[in-house]
A and B are shown apart, each in its own frame.
Chain A
Amino acid sequence: QKEVEQNSGPLSVPEGAIASLNCTYSDRVSQSFFWYRQYSGKSPELIMSIYSNGDKEDGRFTAQLNKASQYVSLLIRDSQPSDSATYLCAVYSGVGTSYDKVIFGPGTSLSVIP
């Protein structure tokens, strides 16, 4: 059973601080990793995808991937109250043309305190 785990939270950080969200996955052959943000009562919104080991930056967001440790994280710099949401980690294990399903973690609730 392939699994994706995340800190359930809630995670509270003061405005302007760095929020760190963590995700681990069980399938060693996983290739593609996604972070989604979901506001309460809304649908998930893609923040970032990452496929290679290392860091990927997009504005205030940085995704970090370590396939050897089966670990992916999302850093949010200069956190704003508008960043308060649930963050979903999603993992895809398909290789080449073979298809597998995308597995989501349970999400981490982030609260940014003004």
Chain B
Amino acid sequence: DAGVTQSPTHLIKTRGQQVTLRCSPKSGHDTVSWYQQALGQGPQFIFQYYEEEERQRGNFPDRFSGHQFPNYSSELNVNALLLGDSALYLCASSYNGQGHQPQHFGDGTRLSIL
């Protein structure tokens, strides 16, 4: 049973560039949430996708955007990268879009901005 998979595992970019991160949910899951985790902090909610639509968004600027595909996989796009965007980006999947269902996390993408 495949778990949540994310790619790439590591990425180095420079300020002003754009980046796309990818996530495939756990088998049987249809909901994908994205989180940003800075060093020493808890994950911060970016947004959630369910039925190919952004269901809710956290306190992140419009530079952060996403998409969900018919097969439930998802992308996170970040434009005009800033040094402060350096973090671990986590994708979590769950079933049926309800937050009371436990989420399962992928291994994350470590993004470094130079």
- B45's partner among A42, A103, A107 (CB-CB below 8 A) is A103
Please indicate the chain A residues that have their CB under 8 angstroms from the CB of B97 in the complex.
Answer: 99
Q: Determine whether the beta carbon of A99 is less than 8 Å from that of B105.
A: no
Q: How large is the interface on B (under 10, 10 to 19, 20 to 34, 35 or more residues)?
A: 20 to 34
Chain B 29-80 residues near chain A, CB threshold 8 A: 33, 35, 40-45, 48, 50, 55-56, 58
Within 8 Å of chain A (Cβ to Cβ): is B25? no
Within 8 Å of chain A (Cβ to Cβ): is B102? yes
Q: Determine whether the beta carbon of B43 is less than 8 Å from that of A94.
A: no
Minimum Cβ distance to chain A for residue B67 (Å): 19
- Tell me the nearest residue of chain A to B57, going by C-beta: A101
- Tell me the nearest residue of chain B to A92, going by C-beta: B99
A100 to B88, CA, bound (A): 23
Within 8 Å of chain B (Cβ to Cβ): is A88? yes
Q: Determine whether the beta carbon of B105 is less than 8 Å from that of A51.
A: no
A34 to B65, CA, bound (A): 27
Q: Determine whether the beta carbon of B90 is less than 8 Å from that of A101.
A: no
Q: Determine whether the beta carbon of A106 is less than 8 Å from that of B99.
A: no
- Tell me the nearest residue of chain B to A34, going by C-beta: B102
Given known pairs A88-B43, A101-B56, the reply for A94 and B98 (CB within 8 Å) is yes
Minimum Cβ distance to chain A for residue B96 (Å): 10
B binding-site residues for A, Cβ under 8 Å: 33, 35, 40-45, 48, 50, 55-56, 58, 88, 90, 97-100, 102-108
A binding-site residues for B, Cβ under 8 Å: 4, 31-32, 34, 36, 42-46, 49, 51, 88, 92-94, 97, 99-107
17 residue pairs A–B, Cβ–Cβ below 8 Å: A32-B99, A43-B90, A43-B106, A43-B107, A43-B108, A49-B102, A88-B42, A92-B100, A97-B98, A99-B48, A99-B55, A99-B97, A101-B56, A102-B45, A104-B42, A106-B41, A107-B41
